[in-house]
Amino acid sequence: MDITRGRWRLAFLAVMLITCVGCDQATKQLAIDHLKGTPPQSYFGDLFRIQYAENPGAFLSLAANLPEDARFWLLTVANSLVLLFVGVIVLVRKDIDRMSLIALTFILAGGVGNLIDRMTTQNGVVIDFLNLGIGGLRTGVFNVADMAITAGFLLLLPFVFRRSEEPATVANTGT
């Protein structure tokens, strides 16, 4: 089975999107039902916390202080366009290798999960509920969609820093 070809690609994309977005939305609903209004709960010597948070911004609450209209255009409309672009690349480009396809699908799934929150919650917030850290060194509060996006970017890193296998050539201008 080659997930980079034809029907297998579409099936892979559908299964990954349904699985990632489904897990993201289900865990967010659990957070709303069981964590909202409760104090943070710590596990494993405070290495892992679950706590309900509504994030009006992007990653690490970036853009949270922008006016609501600006946040809508940046975090909902612009984000939708980026996700549409990634989706088209995943569906149309025939030269995507397996790891890049997996990475882009994780990014797409995570982005869709958070976009659903922005479009369905009051004030366009994203529901976050996970936190990791030791002492004062902690992550921001995040969710399953954020984990998918992060996994996708981490899988893409080797491709970003990979050196071209073909040496660069300089055009001969005849001078």
3-state helix, strand, coil in the chain (%, to 5): 60, 15, 30
| pTM listed for this prediction | 0.86
Identify any residues that bridge with 133 across adjacent strands, giving them in sequence order: 138
Catalytic site includes residue 128: yes
The identity of residue 119, as a single letter, is M
From 69, 97, 117, 146, active-site residue: 146
From 24, 69, 117, 128, active-site residue: 128
Torsion sign across C-alpha atoms 152, 161, 131, 32: negative
Confidence check: pLDDT of 171 > 70: no
Confidence check: pLDDT of 170 > 60: no
Catalytic site includes residue 146: yes
- Mean pLDDT computed over 44-64: 92
Confidence check: pLDDT of 3 > 90: no
Confidence check: pLDDT of 54 > 90: yes
